[in-house]
Amino acid sequence: MKKFLDGKYKNVSFDTDIGLVVEREDGEYINCNLLSIGTIDQLYLSLRLSVMNEISEEKMPIILDEAFAYFDNERLENILKFIDNNYKENQIIILTCSNREKDILDKLNIKYNLINL
């Protein structure tokens, strides 16, 4: 999570009483329920990607269905760069109803195949 949130949050941990907590850049821990919806979505995406790496050495496809709906453009750009840099050997399938992902991929000059349905 630290890698695609520009260092705003350092660590994520699980507290048995309150659930997921994140460490802010100032060292304070806060409950993830106090975060914005976009940040919570980033948190869960980072957890899913981490778990995927832990459960299998196989380069599985990653399917993201409207996974970025609550991301602002800066967050979306950060995660697309992160995925491009760290998951080159995986097939990435992004399902979306918007053009934001396409526009940012074009801006970043990241190669992709587009299929309109």
Kindly report the average pLDDT of the chain as a whole number.
Answer: 88
Q: Residue 1 domain-assigned?
A: no
In order, the DSSP letters of 98-114 are SSHHHHHHHHHT-----
pTM, two decimal places: 0.82
Give tens-digit pLDDT for 50-100.
888 888 888 899 999 999 999 999 889 999 999 999 999 999 999 999 999
Backbone dihedral angles phi then psi of residue 78, each to the nearest 5 degrees: -60, -45
Q: What is the per-residue pLDDT for 5?
A: 65
Q: Residue 68 domain-assigned?
A: yes
For residue 56, the enclosing domain spans 9-108
Q: Residue 47 domain-assigned?
A: yes
